[in-house]
């Protein structure tokens, strides 16, 4: 993602790095939801994080 940030920041210098970054990542959440089903995401979270404390 950083490889896209520098050229984009050069093209859109008037808005600053923060705004450029926000525009670059704006579509990532929706794209990730289309690629990974909720059940698969839950299974991965459970595998990586383990059970919650006290449960």
Q: Where are the domains of the chain?
A: 2-48
Q: Which of 55, 19, 46 is nearest to 5 (CA)?
A: 19
The predicted-structure confidence for 23-44, as pLDDT tens digits, reads as follows 888 777 776 667 777 788 788 7
pLDDT digits (tens, 9 = 90+) for 44-53: 778 878 766 6
Confidence (pTM): 0.44
Count, residues in the chain: 55
Tokens describing residue 53 = 């404390």
Cα separation, 54 vs 10, in Å, equals 49
């Amino acid at each position: 993602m950083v490889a896209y940030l520098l050229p984009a920041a050069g093209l859109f210098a008037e808005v600053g790095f923060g705004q450029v970054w926000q525009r670059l990542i704006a579509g990532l959440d929706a794209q990730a939801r289309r690629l990974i089903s909720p059940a698969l995401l839950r299974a991965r979270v459970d595998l990586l994080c383990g059970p919650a404390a006290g449960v």
